[in-house]
Chains A and B, each alone.
Chain A
Amino acid sequence: MSENSNTGVELVKTLRPYHVWALGVGIVLVGEYMGWNFTVAKGGILGSLFALLVAGTMYVMVSLCASELGSSTKLAGGPYDWARLFVGPGAAAIVGLAVYMEYIALEAADAIVVASIAQSIFPEIQTFPVTLLVIAALTFMNYRGVVAALNLNFALTFTALIAIIAFFFMNIGGIGGTWHPEYLISGAIPNGFIGVFAALQFGPWFYLGIEGAAMCAEECKHPTRAIPLGQQAGMITLLLGAGMTLYVCSGLIPTAELGVSVYPLFEAANQSGVKFLVAFLAIGTLFTCLASANGTVCDSSRSWFALSRDHFLTNWFAAVHTKYSTPYRAVIFTMPIAVAFAYSGFLDQVITFSITSGLVCYVMIPFSLIRFRKMFPEHTQKVRPFVGPLQPYLAYFTIFLAIVIMSTLNWGYSYNLIFGLLFYIIAYFYFSWRYRSIDAKHDWGEDMGWPEPAHRK
Chain B
Amino acid sequence: MDMWTLINGVIYLICFALIGWMLLDASKVSNK
Interface residues of A (CB under 8 A from B): 1-2, 5-6, 122, 124-126, 129-130, 132-133, 136-137, 139-140, 143, 319, 321-323, 328-329, 332, 335
Contacts and interface: CB of A to CB of B under 8 A. Distances in A.
Nearest to B23: A332
Interface residues of B, number: 19
Given A124-B4, A125-B7, A321 B29 contact: yes
Interface in B1-32: 4, 7-8, 11-12, 14-15, 18-19, 21-23, 25-27, 29-32
A335 B19 contact: yes
B12 A132 contact: yes
B32 to A, nearest CB: 7
B22 A322 contact: no
Given A137-B18, A329-B30, A332-B26, 19 more contacts: A1-B30, A5-B29, A6-B29, A122-B4, A124-B4, A125-B4, A129-B8, A129-B11, A132-B11, A136-B14, A136-B15, A140-B18, A140-B21, A319-B29, A319-B30, A321-B29, A322-B32, A323-B29, A332-B22
B29 A126 contact: no
B15 A133 contact: yes
Contacts of B29: 5-6, 319, 321-323, 328
B26 A329 contact: yes
A122 B4 CA distance: 9
A133 B7 CA distance: 12
B31 to A, nearest CB: 7
A424 to B, nearest CB: 30
A208 to B, nearest CB: 27
B22 A129 contact: no
Given A139-B22, A329-B26, A332-B22, A129 B31 contact: no
A223 B30 CA distance: 30
A2 B31 contact: yes
**Leading 5 A-B pairs by shortest Cβ distance:** A1-B30, A124-B4, A129-B11, A136-B18, A136-B15
Contacts of A136: 14-15, 18-19
